[in-house]
Amino acid sequence: MKSFPLAIVAAAALAMGGVVAFAQPRDAVSRVQTAAVAEPQSRNAFERLRDYVMDRNGTERAFDNAYWNNHEAGIYVEARTGEPLFASTDKFDSGSGWPSFTRPIDVSSVTRRTDQSIGMERTEVRSAQGNAHLGHVFNDGPADRGGQRYCINSCAIRFIPRDQMAAEGYGEYLPLIDRPAAH
């Protein structure tokens, strides 16, 4: 009978399927980063994660995602529609393990919804064109930059490096990248 409670805990953990995120060391090699460049077997796992996050309002693991520690110049677009969302000049290290931004490129590119899914009230951020879940916005960002922290799932966005922006049709956003980053 003593193993019965343990069996319940184990079954609950399996049923959650990765919903519970565990803290990861900041310098750990990201399995998601590896999956993003790996062959089809890993790509399928990455696509399942993307679908879970974008379609079912999920969250990827902290410090185990492609862009939490990306410091390269460029823009971040919605992963499916290509809608421009965030500029690298508005990105900052929040310590959360997810890419964080002080603002979107255009406020009309995202929509906000009240989210009470985990027993607390948060503000969900969705892409305007694709209506996909991106993450959440909080009021604990840098005060000198507006005070907001857009905490975004890496798998819901795609990074376009500055030197590829014009070739991929995002040349009009180069002035945003070439301006000095506000800190």
- 156 Cβ contact partners less than 8 Å away, ≥ 6 residues apart: 50, 53, 54, 78, 79, 127, 132, 133, 134, 135
For 123, the enclosing helix (H) or strand (E) is strand 122-127
- Of the two residues 32 and 145, the one the predictor is more confident about is 145
pTM metric for this prediction: 0.76
Catalytic residue among 151, 152, 155, 160: 151
- Of the two residues 37 and 173, the one the predictor is more confident about is 173
Residue 130 in 3-state DSSP?
A: coil
Residue 160 to residue 171: CA distance in whole angstroms: 11
Q: What pLDDT score was predicted for residue 24?
A: 43
Residue 133 to residue 117: CA distance in whole angstroms: 13
Residue 103 to residue 101: CA distance in whole angstroms: 6
Helices assigned H by DSSP within the chain: 3-16, 31-37, 40-56, 162-165, 174-178
- Does position 155 have pLDDT exceeding 60, yes or no? yes
Q: Tokens at residue 39, please?
A: 């062959």
155 tagged catalytic: no
